[in-house]
Every structure is written in structure tokens, then in C-alpha cells.
Amino acid sequence: MSLFTFDFIAFAGLLVLAYFVLPKRCQWVVLLIASFVFYAYGGVQGVIFILVTIVTQWLLALLLQRENDAMAKEAAEATGGAAEKREIRKRYAKKKRLFVWLSVLINLGILIFHKYANVFVEFWNDTFGAGLGGFDLIVPLGLSYYTFKSIGYVIDVYRGRVPAERNPLKLALFVSYFPALVQGPIDRYEHLAHQLVEPHRFDFIRFQYGVQRMFWGYIKKMVIADRIGIFVAEATGNYVEGGYVGFTVILGVALYAFELYADFSGGIDVVCGLSEIFGISLTENFRQPFFVASIAEYWQRWHISLGAWMRTYVFYPLSLSSAFTKLGRKVRKVFGDRAKRLAKVIAPALASFITFVLIGMWHGVGWKYVWWGLIMAIFVSCATLFEGLYAKGRALIHAEKWPVGVRIIQVVRTFVIIAMLRFITIAEDMDDLTAMLTAAFSTWNPEVFVDGSLLELGLSYPNFIVMIVGIAVLLFVDLLQERGIDWRVAIHNLNIVPRWAIYYLAILSLIIFGIYGSGYEAANFAYAVY
Amino acid sequence: MEERVLAILQGVRDDVDFEDETALIDDGILDSFDIISIVGDLNDEFDIEITADELEPENFNTLDAIVELVESLS
């Protein structure tokens, strides 16, 4: 069920009603039933896979809890001091790791199978001339989101950070909570689980804020993202010989960065808004990602929950693994104090390469995603490795005397890098990427900005203006947030006349300017395919 | 102990006021590379082993939290 259908709005409306009318102790059961109804709506096959995840993670977490309890008991009875306790922890860690690996193998296995099975068959057939038939696979809805969420839960139980959930139905709700199934966010158990099962009273202000946020999400997706999408599809989809060249393609790619942001964050606004009505606060997935001064900062503000998951469960463990720390020491030993900085950075840099390649592969299958991850890692690692050099550069231009100017330059530079990396995301494969880059950078045609040719790419003049105004509003709202102003509180504090004027304007803009596809469904979310 | 920890933190990031900041991680003041550097230095200085399990925001948001973490592992 797409978030942008009347079906969904009716479903959400009925659910809100049931949630607050039925006794509070039933609220979490209502959410669980709703989640499975929502899930089954997309096909029964997917239900089987999510059930496998729920059952395996529930069982393995309970087994881990048993080990944790036994370990704690033994450590409490130990008389040999810290050394003995460390020894006890190490002994138990061995067995506990087995359960974590099982959880990762089973659940990541399902994910990898769905993403790579047909790629592998194709590779096998191409290499060995075999005629293996492919699998008829439908990727279960939200597979990578709930897989990551549930693996995070098992690792947190392993670490003793959260107790294992004994009630399988409560864990089922954490894994399958439907608003977060479509495209995340990937919440941590300690943040979300207790909120899902706690009773919540109806709160009108919260209801109002939730609806406002959902509405803003609908505008972002249907008025802004889907409108930009028309231009982007045309400008970036026709660059073979005789197609679009130069600035037309570059503008298409740059606008794609805005399309993706409006699309992805719009969907997140809808699910966060709906959850807010229930009294459940999902983790934020975006924090004004275009107002950043570096790629590293970008990753603290774009798809925050995926970045945080990767940092917690991949980057940190890798960086601090004995193999990686030994590498740092070895560099120091071989190159001496001159390589002090390199020795410090080498382990996290290497870990960041692996992490970003994994993030790339999470987005899709193919070499282009590997390259995308590698380039991201190069930017992040270089920023740290050459920090001394950058500091000298800043001193040379007396950056401290014009901080706002420097920040603007850094923000524009980072946006250019982010937008240009979108070439990789848009291109079908590496050959396609080369063709696209050639088309974009082999022709100097700034005249397209004034000769009206940009208006022949699917968007009429009024539509083009709506697109530009939409992007401006998007950035304005982000600017308000960046300055610590919550736009919903600001609207709430307005007098009744301007407040309702804004509401009417928003409703009218959605009705008049929304892009409705066949059957009044908006285009699919870009991030709903992961 | 606090002075030694502070010296390590300032050695990694001399542009941060560690004594007054209360959300070093939550506000994005320290990034993940800084954390790994700090952990490496703390491990060497105090002969402890901070593992990935301890790399959670609440252990690194303030100077006091970091000192507490080091004390708990010493």
C-alpha cells in the first residue's frame, strides 16, 4: 500500500480512530494487527520472510539473554577482581558471538539472497555458459530496513545494552511497525520498542503537529519531488547521441539531488507525522543535509539512521578490531613519528572505506555502487588525513575574518560534490556513466538557461516556476530549522487568520499542484525499493 | 585523571571547549574519526581496552562521561 493513495489515508484514519477509542492496553495490539494487514496488502510471500526474521531474532536474543544472566551471576560471585571478571566476559563472549553470527547469517542471508541471487545466476551463466534459470523473486517490503533494525537489536542484547524481549508479539511489533517499513527510519530498539507498547493518550496539539508534518511530507513528495522528477527523467534519460548535452544534463543531475531529498524526506515526514499522532517519536532521518560544509557532515545529516547503524555496528567494531589497531601501530613503527597522523587515521580510514562500500552496496547491485562508496570514503578520509594542510590553507586566506563567506563556499562546494556524485546513482551502469559524463561535459552550452530549451523537457513555464518556488520553500523551511525555529510551533503561534491562510494555501497547493499518476497514485518512493 | 583525559581530548581537537560542552556526540562536535583517535589515545595512556560496545553517545557526550568510562575500565 503506497503512502500516497486514498487507501492509505483511509487506513491511517481508521487506525487512529481505533487506536484512541479502544482501551489503552490494546493499543500496541492494534498497531501490530495494522502492521500485518499493511504488510499482507503487498503480498503474503513477504509475510513469511518477516516472520522468519521475527522468530529467529526473538529466539537468538533470548539465548543471548540467558548467557548474559549466567555471565553476570558468575561475575558477581567472582572473588579474583577485575582480571577474573575480564576472563569470565571473554569466555562467555565466545559463545555469545556464535548466536550473533547466526542472527546475521540467517537474516542478512535472506537480504543478500533477494538482492544477489539473480545476479549470481547471470554471472554463472555468462562465465560457464550454463543455462541456469533465474529466481522469480519479489523483494519483501522494507526487507533491508527491518533486517538492519532487528540485527541491531540482537547485537544490543549481545552487548547487554538492552534486555531481550520475552513476548514474541511485542518484538514482532518492533520489527514490523508499518510506518517504518516503507523506507525507514532504522530505529534502535532502545529508542522505539518501549514507545510502541506504552499506552498513549490522545493529545490535540500532537495530533495537529502530526497532521501538519504529514501534509508537508505530501507536498514535498507530490508537489516538489514528482514535479522535479519529470524534468530529471527527461534531462538525464536521453543523453545518447543526438540527445541532451552540457548544462541540460548537469542541471538534470543537480536537480535530482533535490528530487531525492524531497522524495525521501517527504515520505519520512509522512510516517513520522503519523507516528507522532500515536505519541510515538521515530528517530529523525534528516537534518538539513544541504547546509553542510563537508561530506563527513553530510553523512551526519542525510539518512541519519542508516549512517548511525553503520557507524555503530560496522565502522566502530572494525576500527577498533585488533587487526586494524595493529595496522596503525605497524605504520608508526615502520615510518616513525613523521607518520604519526597517518598511523592514527589508517584504521578508521580503512574501516570507512569498507563501511561506505557496504552503504553503496546497500543501495543497489553493481560496480557503480562500489565506486560511489569508494569516492565517498575518499572524501571523508582525506578531510581527516589532510586536516593540517586545510588548516594552513584557511590561515593563509584568513578564514577567521570572514566565517560566513567561508561557510557559504564550503556549503556550495559540498553540494556540488554531492550533486555530481548523483551521476553515478542515475547511470544504469559504468558504461552508461561514461556516456552520461561525456554528454554532460563535452559541450559548453550556457545558452540553454535563456533560450527556452529547458522548457521543452516536460515542464511548461508555469510548472517550471512551481518547481523553482517548491525548491525555494523546501530550502527556506530547512533554513528555519537550521536556525532552531520549529515551523510547526511558529504556525501554531500565529493568529487564526494567517494560520488558516497557510493551511488553505497548503491544501490548495496540494490539490492544484500535486502530480497525480494513474489512479491518483503518486510515483513510487525512490527509497522504498531497498 | 581528569587532567590527563582532558589533555588527550585537546590533543585530538584543540578547537573544542571540552569542559563546557554537554553534547559532544549528539551535536556532532566530535565525528567518528575523532572518537577512534581519542579511544586509541585513552587505551594507550591508561592501558585499558575500550571496545566498540562502549562507543555509545552517552559515554562520550561530556568530559565527565569519558572520565567515568575510563575509571570503570581501569
Q: How many domains does chain B have?
A: 1
Give A194-200 contacts, CB < 8 A, sequence gap 24+: A195/A279, A195/A280, A195/A281, A196/A28, A196/A31, A196/A170, A196/A280, A197/A28, A197/A170, A197/A173, A198/A279, A199/A24, A199/A25, A199/A27, A200/A19, A200/A24, A200/A27, A200/A278, A200/A279, A200/A280
B52/A316 CB distance under 8 A? yes
Q: Give residue limits of the domains in chain A.
A: 17-202, 203-244+263-281+452-530, 283-426
pLDDT digits (tens, 9 = 90+) for A96-148: 999 999 999 999 999 999 888 888 888 888 888 777 777 877 788 889 999 99
Domain ranges, residue B53:
2-73
Nearest CA in chain A to B29: A297
B31 CB neighbours in chain A (<8 A) are: 296, 300
Per the CB < 8 A criterion, the answer to whether A223 and A513 are in contact is yes
d(CA A92, CA A67): 7
Contact B10/A at CB under 8 A: no
The packing angle between helices A340-363 and B32-46, to 10°, is 140
Confidence of residue A520 (pLDDT cuts 50, 70, 90): very low
Task: Identify the CATH number of the domain in which residue B68 sits.
Answer: 1.10.1200.10
Q: Work out the minimum CA distance from B19 to partner chain A, whole angstroms.
A: 23
Q: Which of A300, A344, A349 sits opposite B40 (nearest CB)?
A: A344
Q: Work out the minimum CA distance from B71 to partner chain A, whole angstroms.
A: 12
pLDDT digits (tens, 9 = 90+) for A362-374: 888 788 889 999 9
Q: At residue A184, does pLDDT exceed 90?
A: no
Per the CB < 8 A criterion, the answer to whether A174 and A148 are in contact is no
pLDDT digits (tens, 9 = 90+) for B2-52: 899 999 999 888 889 999 999 998 888 888 888 998 998 999 899 988 988
Per the CB < 8 A criterion, the answer to whether A325 and A347 are in contact is yes
Rounded mean pLDDT, A231-235: 92
Top residue of B8, B31, B54, B71 to mutate, by most chain A CBs within 10 Å, is B31
Q: At residue A361, does pLDDT exceed 50?
A: yes
Nearest CA in chain B to A309: B56
d(CA A208, CA A92): 50
B52 CB neighbours in chain A (<8 A) are: 312, 316-317, 319-320
Cell representation of residue A357: 562500500
A344/B39 CB distance under 8 A? no
SS (H, E, C) A272-303: HHHHHHHCCCCCCCCCCCCCCCCHHHHCCCCC
The amino acid occupying position A340 is: K
Q: What is the mean pLDDT of chain A?
A: 90
Query: Which residue numbers of A have CB closer than 8 Å to B's CBs?
Result: 159-161, 296-297, 300, 311-312, 315-317, 319-320, 325, 328, 344-345, 347-349, 351-352, 380, 384
d(CA A298, CA A290): 8
Per the CB < 8 A criterion, the answer to whether A425 and A529 are in contact is no
